[in-house]
Structure 1
Amino acid sequence: MTTNDLARDIYDAAHLTGEFTLRSGVTATEYFDKYLFESDPKLIKRIAERLAEFVPSEGVDALAGLETGGIPIAVVLSQITGVPAYFIRKEAKTYGTCRLAEGGDIEGKRLFVVEDVVTSGGAVMDALGELRRRGATVEEGVCVIDRESGGLKNLADNGLAMKALFTMSELKTAGEA
């Protein structure tokens, strides 16, 4: 299967039209429902196989799957790469272990961020700040879709080199072909 086939299949599975309010507060007329491609076992495996090309072969202690959408991707990516997956909460639990990250201790670890969709980068920046405050080194990451709304630049400006498997434009072009 080609890159265009994967892009078209993501578009076909997850592209919705209507009126949607994004996390950033922006209203969009198009939306990629990540859960529609994340819940499809064949499609998420194909996505993770492609994302594996972005994971450094050395120097990464764990994949940091961000709640909620980045977690299923990180799990499948972990299966493909052999790199452990940690599950990063939006905020630390106030009960039990009171952890921000589940799956292992993050202090002193080199983490590779895994996210589904990036718009402004706000959710990733929130997680990035918390992970770094807790002693993790976080310099690289990957997302499935860049909505091309400045998120990757915002993240780069904050020391995170985030790469996207596809931009919104690439998915639209593949889906409309």
Structure 2
Amino acid sequence: MDPTPDPALAADVDTCCRLTGEFTLRSGQVSSEYFDKYLFEAQPALLARVAAQMVPLLPEDTELLGGLELGGIPIATMVSSRTGTPALFVRKQAKEYGTCKLAEGPDVAGRRVTLVEDVITTGGAVRDATKALREAGAVVEVVVCAIDRSPEGENPLADVGLEVRAVLTKAQLDAARG
């Protein structure tokens, strides 16, 4: 299931997107480091390498890839392109006009959705999306992410029964710095 760790990928992602300073995370936590995932997502070759490492992390029974707004969407699109698995684009909240959908794309009812996220620290956005998709009838059991910066050995989404599978962990990125 887990791909072999790629130290070169960790080094390249780290070099591209680790910022230092004072940053307030979505969770409200303040961090001296921030992984600006848009910096690697904007580089086609680096995004393709992350997506390639994500493919073997997908459960075999995945029917839809649920890319979370905004950072999970380009990754889900790239993984969808590599695997032929349809993508679904999950908003932070349902739009208030037109179709008023939370998830754009195929119907999720009764289907196995693997969530795709860029960076997970506490998992707040993933938790919200999981609850909403399950209410819509989706089966959501796994999230794959580019970077898991939660504390090593902890699953921040255990409370909602979600398995986290990461291409890179904070420990791997730290090790790549040397």
Q: TM (normalized to structure 2)? A: 0.93
User: 1:12 matched to which residue of 2?
Assistant: 15
Unaligned residue ranges in structure 2 (runs of 5+): none
Offset of residue 172 of structure 1: 1.6
CA distance in 1, matches of 2:166, 2:62: 18
More displaced stretch, 13-22 vs 162-171: 162-171
Q: TM (normalized to structure 1)? A: 0.94
Q: What is the total number of aligned residue pairs between the two structures?
A: 174
**Alignment RMSD:** 1.5
Out of 121, 125, 146, the residue aligned to residue 123 of structure 1 is 125
Out of 138, 144, 147, the residue aligned to residue 145 of structure 1 is 147
The answer to whether the aligner puts 1:3 opposite 2:6 as a matched pair is: yes
Mapping 1:1-177, distance limit 5 Å: 3-57=6-60, 59-149=61-151, 153-174=155-176, 176-177=177-178
Offset of residue 152 of structure 1: 5.7
Give the ranges of 4+ consecutive aligned residues of structure 1 lying more than 6 Å apart after TM superposition.
none
Deviations 1:93-112 (A, max 9, x none): 11001001111111111100
Q: Percent identity?
A: 52
Change (3 A) 1:102 1:120: same
Native 8 Å contact 1:115 1:144 kept in 2: yes
Aligned partner of residue 154 in structure 1, secondary structure = coil
Native 8 Å contact 1:73 1:116 kept in 2: yes
More displaced stretch, 38-47 vs 143-152: 143-152
CA distance in 2, matches of 1:151, 1:94: 39
CA distance in 1, matches of 2:167, 2:80: 17
Change (3 A) 1:162 1:138: same
CA distance in 2, matches of 1:94, 1:24: 25
More displaced stretch, 11-20 vs 150-159: 150-159
Unaligned residue ranges in structure 1 (runs of 5+): none
Offset of residue 56 of structure 1: 2.3
- The AA in structure 2 aligned to 1:27 is V
Offset of residue 154 of structure 1: 2.8
